Chains A and B, each alone.
Chain A
């Protein structure tokens, strides 16, 4: 199980933006959806979730609105703003590049890597 603290800095923001982009939803639903979508791998507790939501709201990437839920209770719903939409595309791009680069590095064949460093040492 991966805790958000172990995630690359800023990744939680990206995940939240992505989930909120699907439809306006409240905090608990964001965590739940994230968990479902990641097949129970990504579990975000309120201690990370709400500060992140509030920060994104401060940044103007998501906006909040108090609405009545299906069970007639006042719930704070978050939805993506236009700026958030742009940020999502940008962050997703960045993530692709970053994760791609990380995969390349950690999947590199061991022998090939050793040879290269040996060559470098000779040169």
Chain B
């Protein structure tokens, strides 16, 4: 089967690239056929003239034979496609206003959508890369200003001994910059975890092993786990990496294992290197705050676990520093919920905005295409009169749209790269994949810049979300503006002869502007009314995401409507002013 496929492919390529040769061969083949037929007729006793005529008759329509052979080779289809593409490009070239508008609209739509989709993909469409994630909980103490639980080391150790509620507890301390201090020194992201975290999450190193409890101790041998990406990039995916020495922040450490490709920290963060926390058990102070993840015992509910832990909670609060005691409260929540309420909800909101932008882009391009096809009725009528089939015309129209889409797609792709870069700069580390430079060429000494800002800082995330929403708002406004502009400009072009007549009959420039402004204004006002109705409907669902801000703010809404209407008017005014400058003589000579 595969041999057959190869043969076909080879022959198709030959038909395509050595077209003249294959065509000539076909001609020779058919000529041969004719000659054999004549020869045969002569042998059966016909005169030369009769023999030739009979043979020609038997050849049927030679042109048709040739066409059918080419059809078999899949050539006609391809040739039609090429011709349509050429035709499409040519007609776009002659209509640059339409072409640029449509391509820009599509590019903006595709670019912004792809960028945001890539960003929210993980949160909305993939589960956590842990075993039975529904059993995982995040537990600890919370201060009103924090939205992540923390626990101090002595309490963590005490709670580890409280068996029954949890199958296991694991701790980690978040990711921070660290340096690989050897040849090609680079800055990395290092996370500190304890030996229990990976077993708690149900994560097995892809290669090598987890830390031993000795290595996790204060005087243990220095051991590290490396991320899959770092393993591939720095060590070329070498199977013998476990056991190698690396120099991190000036200290020799032994690589003991490689993390799975999809591994992420419980806050969705990425780390190149994972090191043991190596807490000093003898340390009497509270030490550094830890994040603690637990795996609930199968027969224990959240409430039961909270109940069993109550004496430990009281004990902790009693020993806490005075300034904390009154504010701190205990929290035990499923890990899924810690990740989702903020991240997931805002992802859904962003995703919804993405769809709106796509719909606006599609509606705009659709409107432009519709206006264009209306103006091409004459051309289409001529083509039908000349014998173009309906299918053929449809195919040509589709090919033209394909050309526009392809160009828009290319622009969109370029935009995606720019936007992804921008998003990363805005994003608190841990929400999005890290520096793109490291994805491009890992052999180069790259520098990974991590945001110093706290991952869990609510303000950071809100700021990012606000920035993204603002971005969408601006994109949508831009799209609407460009679409309106394109449409009105198109109408103006269509009506140049009419404008010429009006000017010749004494219409003043202002009247011409007013003519188109009226058309644009009615469109904009209808749009604004529809928009207000949509706003009223959307307000209810948005209300849940706003804090300390009334969802219905007349000032904000009237400002938004004014900006939109102003943009629509501006988009109308530019082509309308151009219409007013039409020279009657030039316009009337056009047809």
Scoring B residues 1 to 26 as 1 if CB is less than 8 Å from chain A, else 0, what string do you get?
00110111001100000000000011
Binary per-residue interface labels of chain A (50-63) against chain B in the complex, 1 for a CB within 8 Å, 0 otherwise:
11001101111000
Query: Which residue from B7, B32, B59, B72 sits with its C-beta under 8 Å from A54?
Result: B72
- The verdict on B36 contacting chain A, using a C-beta distance below 8 Å, is yes
Q: Note all chain B residues with C-beta closer than 8 A to A83.
A: 3-4
Instruction: Give the residue name and chain of the A residue nearest to B12 (CB).
Output: A58
20 A-B pairs with C-beta separation under 8 A:
A26-B36, A27-B29, A27-B32, A28-B32, A45-B59, A46-B30, A47-B64, A50-B65, A50-B69, A51-B69, A54-B73, A55-B72, A58-B73, A60-B4, A60-B8, A66-B25, A73-B35, A75-B32, A76-B29, A83-B4
Q: A51-B69, A54-B72, A76-B29 are in contact. Are A46 and B59 (CB under 8 A)?
A: yes
Please report the C-alpha to C-alpha distance between residue A73 and residue B25 in the assembled complex, in whole angstroms. 13
Known: A60-B3, A60-B7. A45 touches B60 (CB 8 A): yes
Instruction: Decide if A74 is an interface residue (CB 8 Å cutoff).
Output: yes
A13 smallest CB distance to B (angstroms)? 12
Q: Are A54 and B69 in contact (CB under 8 A)?
A: yes
| 18 further A-B pairs in the complex, CB-CB below 8 A; given A27-B29, A50-B33, A57-B11 | A26-B36, A27-B33, A45-B59, A47-B64, A47-B68, A50-B30, A50-B65, A50-B68, A50-B69, A51-B65, A54-B69, A58-B72, A58-B74, A59-B8, A73-B32, A73-B35, A74-B28, A76-B29
Instruction: Indicate whether A99 reaches chain B with its CB closer than 8 angstroms.
Output: no
Query: Cβ of B4 and Cβ of A28 under 8 Å apart?
Result: no
Q: How many residues of A contact B (CB 8 A)?
A: 22
A55 surroundings in chain B (CB, below 8 A): 72
Is A26 in contact with B32, judged by CB distance below 8 angstroms? yes
Distance between Cα atoms of A57 and B26 in the complex (Å): 13
Residue of A nearest to B5 (CB): A60
Contact at A76–B25, with CB atoms within 8 Å? yes
B52 to chain A, nearest CB (A): 15
Residues of chain A from 61 to 107 with CB closer than 8 A to chain B in the complex: 66, 73-76, 83
A50 touches B71 (CB 8 A): no
From A28, A54, A58, A66, contact of B33 by CB (8 A): A28
Chain B, residue nearest A32 (CB): B40
Q: How large is the interface on B (under 10, 10 to 19, 20 to 34, 35 or more residues)?
A: 20 to 34
Docked Cα-Cα span, A50 to B69, in Å, equals 6
CB distance from A53 to the nearest CB of B (A): 8
**Does B37 make an interface contact (CB < 8 A)?**
yes
Do B8 and A58 touch across chains, with their CB atoms under 8 A apart?
A: yes
Contact with B along A27-45 (1 / 0, CB 8 A): 1110010000000000001
Chain A residues whose CB sits within 8 angstroms of the CB of B40 once the complex forms = 32
Bound Cα distance A123, B65 (Å): 54
**Are B65 and A76 in contact (CB-based, < 8 A)?**
no
CB of B29 within 8 A of CB of A50, answer: yes
CB distance from B36 to the nearest CB of A (A): 4
Q: Can you name the residue of chain A whose Cβ is closest to the Cβ of B62?
A: A46
Q: B residues 22-80 with Cβ under 8 Å of A?
A: 25-26, 28-30, 32-33, 35-37, 40, 58-61, 64-65, 68-69, 71-74
The residues of B that contact A27 with a CB separation of less than 8 Å are 29, 32-33
Tell me the complex Cα distance, A26–B254, Å.
73
**Docked-complex contact A46 and B7, CB < 8 angstroms:** no
* Chain A residue at smallest Cβ distance from B31: A73
Query: What is the distance, in angstroms, from B12's C-beta to the closest C-beta of chain A?
Result: 7
A27 CB to closest chain B CB (Å) equals 6
Binding site for B on A (CB under 8 A): 26-29, 32, 45-47, 50-51, 54-55, 57-60, 66, 73-76, 83
Within 8 A of A (CB), among B132-152: none
Determine the residue in chain A with the shortest Cβ distance to B4.
A60
Contact residues in B for A76 (Cβ distance below 8 Å): 25, 28-29, 32
CB closest residue in chain A, given B8: A58
The listed residue (B4, B11, B60) touching A47 by CB distance below 8 A is B60
Q: Across the interface, which residues of B come within 8 angstroms of A60, CB to CB?
A: 3-4, 6-8
Q: What is the CA–CA distance of A60 and B40 in the complex, to the nearest angstrom?
A: 31
Measured between C-beta atoms, what is the minimum distance from B279 to chain A in Å? Answer: 69
Contact B4 A51 (CB under 8 A): no
A-chain residues with CB within 8 Å of residue B3 when the two chains form the complex: 60, 83
Chain A residues near B74 (CB, 8 Å)?
Answer: 58
Contact residues in A for B59 (Cβ distance below 8 Å):
45-46
Q: Which residues of B contact A28 (CB under 8 A)?
A: 32-33, 36-37
**In the bound complex, what is the Cα–Cα distance between A58 and B33 (angstroms)?**
21
Residues of A within 8 A of B7 (CB): 58-60
Report B-chain residues with C-beta under 8 Å of the C-beta of A66.
25
Contact A51 B32 (CB under 8 A): no
| Assembled-state Cα–Cα distance A52/B348 (Å) | 56
With A59-B8, A73-B32, A75-B32: A47-B72 Cβ-Cβ less than 8 Å: no
Q: Given the complex, which residues of A lie within 8 Å of B69, measured CB to CB? A: 50-51, 54
On chain B, the residues within 8 Å of A29 by CB distance are 36
Q: Which of A26, A60, A73, A76 is the most central at the interface, judged by chain B CB atoms within 10 Å of its CB?
A: A60
Residues of A with C-beta under 8 A to B58? 45-46
Q: Is the CB of A46 within 8 A of B8?
A: no
- State A52–B60 Cα separation when bound (angstroms): 16
Which B residues touch A46, using CB under 8 A? 30, 33, 58-60, 65
A-chain residues with CB within 8 Å of residue B35 when the two chains form the complex: 73
Which A residue's beta carbon lies closest to that of B36? A28
| Min CB–CB distance A114 → chain B (angstroms) | 44
Complex: A55 Cα to B6 Cα, angstroms: 14
Nearest CB in chain A to that of B64: its residue: A47
User: A49 CB to closest chain B CB, in angstroms?
Assistant: 8
Q: By CB atoms of chain B within 10 A, which of A46, A58, A59, A60 has the most?
A: A46
Q: A73 contacts which chain B residues (CB < 8 A)?
A: 32, 35
- Chain B residue with Cβ nearest A83: B4
Q: In the bound complex, what is the Cα–Cα distance between A51 and B353 (angstroms)?
A: 54
For B26, what are the chain A residues with a Cβ–Cβ distance below 8 Å?
Answer: 50
Q: Which are the 4 A-B pairs with shortest beta-carbon distances?
A: A60-B7, A28-B36, A60-B4, A51-B68
Chain B residues whose CB sits within 8 angstroms of the CB of A51 once the complex forms: 65, 68-69, 71-72
CB closest residue in chain B, given A66 = B25
Complex Cα gap A66–B26 (Å): 12
- A54 vs B66: C-alpha distance in the bound complex, in angstroms? 11
Q: In this complex, which of A32, A47, A66, A74 has the most chain B Cβ atoms within 10 angstroms of its Cβ? A: A47
Q: Residue of A at shortest CB range from B1?
A: A83
Give complex CA distance A75, B28 in Å. Answer: 8
Residues of A within 8 A of B64 (CB): 47
